[in-house]
């Protein structure tokens, strides 16, 4: 029960970005006296996602990691690659474990206040007022995970690919999966020439998440994903006898829309709404960790919280990649085959983590050298 209607900070959205930000604030003594509200329209009590990411060695979230792997597989119609990830590990967390863990830590601090309500508007004047369905709250700064309406109304002005998918966690009667390795991408079952693939996370010898994914401009009917998942299970994995335990669906924007322009002095857009999902991959779990630390550093130095969150050259690379995928969608399989076959894991992960050297970036570019990329490069320069 919240008595006060005035807070130092209000975080809108108890999702990945909101909770990672709140946890980081709770660990800093500089914010121990700040009153912080977290407002979400959802109670976050269902497992609505499976988050995966790669990292080296011991990580911040290891206590709630459901499973991790040292080896990844990649299949195109021509090639089968086995990728040894060491010193990296690919790790998976269930969203519900993350929500519950974060809430229990935050509730130990009496300066964090959870409010279940829908935010309608924010008034950005001398004092910021957050209007919800049932109340008005004032604050000095808002961290906002709501995606701006402009994104939806200007889809044609930017490059927009949707990473859309459905996954099923299945259980087999007999041991079938090798739980030491996961499948990053399998292009052997495809929807026509479009960039579509299957992603497999084996949790044990008898249990795995099988996800059919599109990197395309429009979504498809639920039955279409179901059909390809079924086909993959029977024709590629050769499994006839299994039970579906749960399903997961999602749609992630892969875009060059300038989400970061929507942060102001008083309102910082966070998460997907802040452009934290990497345009070329749809991954954001580890990027969120870094952006949150940068925000904390900025707050401590009295700088605009969103200052310096992005590196321009990676936005440029993402845009080139999205352009190729948008204009020549059938090239996706070739692009990823080249990417995984011609670069070391270390180079690829450092590039995707936006920590690569210029030399590593040149190597990646060389591996993707083609007419489509050259054209996209010059169109992006304009």
| 7: number of Cβ within 10 Å | 25
| 301: number of Cβ within 10 Å | 8
Least CB distance from residue 276 to ligand FAD, whole Å? Answer: 7
Nearer to ligand FAD, 61 or 187 (CB): 61
Estimate to the nearest angstrom the gap between the alpha carbon of 50 and the chain centroid: 10
Tokens 């999702």 belong to 15
Least CB distance from residue 238 to ligand FAD, whole Å? Answer: 26
CB–CB of 354/314 below 8 Å?
yes
Q: Kindly tell me the number of DSSP H helices and DSSP E strands found in the chain.
A: 10, 17
Comparing C-alpha atoms, which of 173, 172, 122 is closest to residue 11? 122
Least CB distance from residue 252 to ligand FAD, whole Å? Answer: 5
Least CB distance from residue 95 to ligand FAD, whole Å? Answer: 7
Spell out the residues 6+ positions from residue 217 whose beta carbon is closer than 8 angstroms to its own.
160, 161, 162, 326, 329
Least CB distance from residue 78 to ligand FAD, whole Å? Answer: 27
Least CB distance from residue 243 to ligand FAD, whole Å? Answer: 21
* Rounded Cα–Cα distance for residues 18 and 14 (Å): 5
Interface ranges with ligand FAD (CB under 6 A): 12-18, 39-42, 44, 49, 51-53, 118-119, 145-146, 248, 250, 252, 271-272, 277, 282-285
Nearer to ligand FAD, 50 or 380 (CB): 50
Nearer to ligand FAD, 165 or 339 (CB): 165
Least CB distance from residue 117 to ligand FAD, whole Å? Answer: 7
Comparing C-alpha atoms, which of 18, 44, 57 is closest to residue 284? 18
Nearer to ligand FAD, 31 or 283 (CB): 283
Least CB distance from residue 40 to ligand FAD, whole Å? Answer: 4
Nearer to ligand FAD, 290 or 363 (CB): 290
Nearer to ligand FAD, 14 or 367 (CB): 14
CB–CB of 214/162 below 8 Å?
yes
Tokens 């579906």 belong to 244
Given the DSSP bridges, would you call strands 136-144 and 6-12 parallel, antiparallel or unpaired?
Answer: parallel
User: Which residue has the CB atom at the shortest distance from ligand FAD?
Assistant: 15
List Cα–Cα distances, 92 to 33, 68, 184, in angstroms. Answer: 34, 6, 13
Least CB distance from residue 50 to ligand FAD, whole Å? Answer: 6
Nearer to ligand FAD, 273 or 376 (CB): 273
DSSP output for 75-115: E-SS-EEEEE-TTEEEEEEEHHHHHHHHHHHHHTSTTEEEE
Nearer to ligand FAD, 12 or 324 (CB): 12
Least CB distance from residue 321 to ligand FAD, whole Å? Answer: 17
Nearer to ligand FAD, 296 or 376 (CB): 296
SS3 readout for 17-34: HHHHHHHHHHCCHHHCCC
* Rounded Cα–Cα distance for residues 10 and 17 (Å): 13
Nearer to ligand FAD, 14 or 255 (CB): 14
């Amino acid at each position: 029960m919240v008595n006060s209607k005035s807070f130092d900070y209000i975080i809108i959205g108890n999702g990945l970005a909101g909770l990672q930000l709140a946890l980081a604030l709770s660990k800093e003594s500089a914010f121990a006296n700040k009153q912080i509200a977290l407002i979400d329209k959802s109670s976050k009590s269902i497992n609505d996602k499976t988050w995966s990411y790669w990292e080296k060695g011991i990580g911040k979230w290891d206590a709630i990691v459901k499973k991790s792997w040292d080896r990844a597989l990649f299949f195109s119609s021509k090639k089968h690659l086995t990728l040894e990830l060491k010193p990296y590990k690919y790790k998976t967390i269930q969203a519900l474990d993350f929500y519950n863990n974060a809430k229990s830590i935050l509730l130990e601090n009496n300066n964090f206040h959870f409010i279940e309500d829908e935010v309608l508007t924010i008034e950005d004047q001398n004092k910021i007022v957050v209007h919800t369905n049932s109340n008005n709250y004032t604050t000095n700064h808002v961290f906002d995970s709501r995606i701006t309406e402009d994104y939806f109304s200007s889809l044609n002005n930017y490059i927009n690919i949707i990473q859309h998918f459905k996954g099923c966690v299945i259980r087999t009667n007999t041991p079938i999966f090798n739980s030491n390795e996961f499948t990053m991408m399998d292009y052997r079952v495809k929807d026509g020439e479009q960039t579509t693939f299957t992603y497999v996370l084996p949790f044990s010898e008898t249990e795995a998440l099988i996800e059919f994914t599109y990197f395309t401009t429009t979504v498809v009917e639920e039955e279409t994903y179901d059909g390809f998942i079924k086909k993959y299970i029977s024709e590629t994995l050769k499994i006839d006898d299994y039970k579906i335990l749960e399903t997961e669906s999602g749609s992630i924007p892969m875009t060059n829309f300038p989400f970061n322009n929507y942060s102001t002095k008083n309102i910082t857009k966070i998460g997907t709404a802040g452009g934290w999902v990497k345009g070329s991959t749809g991954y954001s779990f580890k990027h969120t960790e870094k952006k949150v630390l940068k925000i904390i550093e900025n707050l401590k130095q009295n700088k605009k919280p969103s200052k310096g969150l992005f590196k321009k050259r990676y936005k440029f690379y993402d845009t080139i990649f999205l352009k190729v995928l948008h204009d020549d969608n059938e090239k996706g399989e070739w692009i990823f085959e080249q990417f995984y076959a011609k670069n070391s894991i270390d180079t690829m992960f450092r590039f995707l983590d936006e920590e690569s050297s210029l030399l590593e970036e040149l190597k990646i570019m060389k591996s993707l050298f083609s007419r489509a990329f050259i054209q996209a490069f010059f169109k992006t320069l304009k």
